[in-house]
Structure 1
Amino acid sequence: MWKKCMRTLTVAGLVVASSSLFVSAAGKDVQSQIDGIMGALPKFAVPMREVGDRFQNMYFAAEGGNWALASYMSRYMNKAMNPAKITKPNAYPDWESFYADDFAAVNKAIAAEDLSTFKKEYKAVISSCNSCHSGMGYDFIKVVKLPAPPDKFIEYNLSSKAADVPK
């Protein structure tokens, strides 16, 4: 028991000592490391690609009665934008406001499992997306409802409840 404890303490000591040396050497160039990490994180374009796919999938899930999948797509569509909290801190509040305000009616329709209201609000969100893109100088990005879902290997016609999504 004593030998095992001493070995553990020795290994822990070596880890701490080597960590200190690494941090000390890295401390000289911490800002450039931070800049490198920031440069590797996606800004808006990459997460928005995921947002677009999930937004389209959501429609086909709702239409197929797979309300849990529609709810799941909405939740993770929003979470896909989390990198922008760090990489675009001045622009992220626009997304946050869009999801909380403009998108709220879509989420309510999903929770109510109301396809008619969902379709109406989904169409309104498309208009809102296009207005936002235009206002930000991205007139060339026009959202349309696709004729088929981007992810073809998901069962959209699976009866489920919006509340079925684990928290």
Structure 2
Amino acid sequence: MLKKSVQVLAVTCLIVTGSSLSVSAAGEDTQGQIDGIMSALPKFAVPMREVGDRFQNMFYAAEGGNWALASYMSKYMDNAMNPAKITKPKEYPDWATFYKEEFAPVNNAIAAQDMATFTKEYTAVIASCNDCHAGMGYGFIKVVKLTSPPDQGIEYKLASKAVDVPK
């Protein structure tokens, strides 16, 4: 028992010593560590890839009557762009405005579970995305509605209500 206690004490001392060394090192090169973290965070391209997949999945969820999934995809499509708040602070407000204003009719159609309005607004958003891409110099990125959802492992035809998504 005493041997076990000594081992625990030794390991604890090593952890505390190591922690204080890393805190000391962090104080010496905090900006270097911050820069390292910043360089590891995704800018726009990686989150936009997730946005695109969720946007496409959203259509098939709505079409299949899985309104909760459509709402979920929209919510997490927006959240996917959060790293850009830090890594692209000048560009992020464009996304935030787009989602809050131009994408709102899509979200309203999901909440109303209105497929006709959803399809109309979803199609309008595709045009808006392409206009934005062109305006930012990325006209070679043209969004089209896929003929099938990117995520094949999801049940899109599961009847649900938009309000079924946990907060």
TM-score by length of 1: 0.90
Shift, 1:23, TM fit: 1.3
Q: Write the letter of the residue equivalent to 1:50.
A: E
Partner of 1:3: none
Partner of 1:67: 67
Cα RMSD (Å) of the superposition?
Answer: 1.8
Give unpaired runs (5+ residues) of structure 2. Answer: 1-7
Pairing 1:55–2:55 present: yes
Partner of 1:30: 30
Aligned identity (percent) is: 74
SS across alignment from 2:35? helix
The count of corresponding residues between Structure 1 and Structure 2 is 161
Partner of 1:92: 92
Map of 1:12-161 to 2, 5 A cutoff? 18-161=18-161
Cα deviation, 1:128-161, whole Å, max 9, x if unaligned, reads 0000000000010000000000001110011100
SS across alignment from 1:33? helix
Superposition misfits of 4+ residues, deviation over 4 angstroms: 10-18
Q: Write the letter of the residue equivalent to 1:161.
A: K
Partner of 1:5: none
SS across alignment from 2:149? coil
The separation in 2 between residues aligned to 1:146 and 1:14, in whole angstroms, is: 55
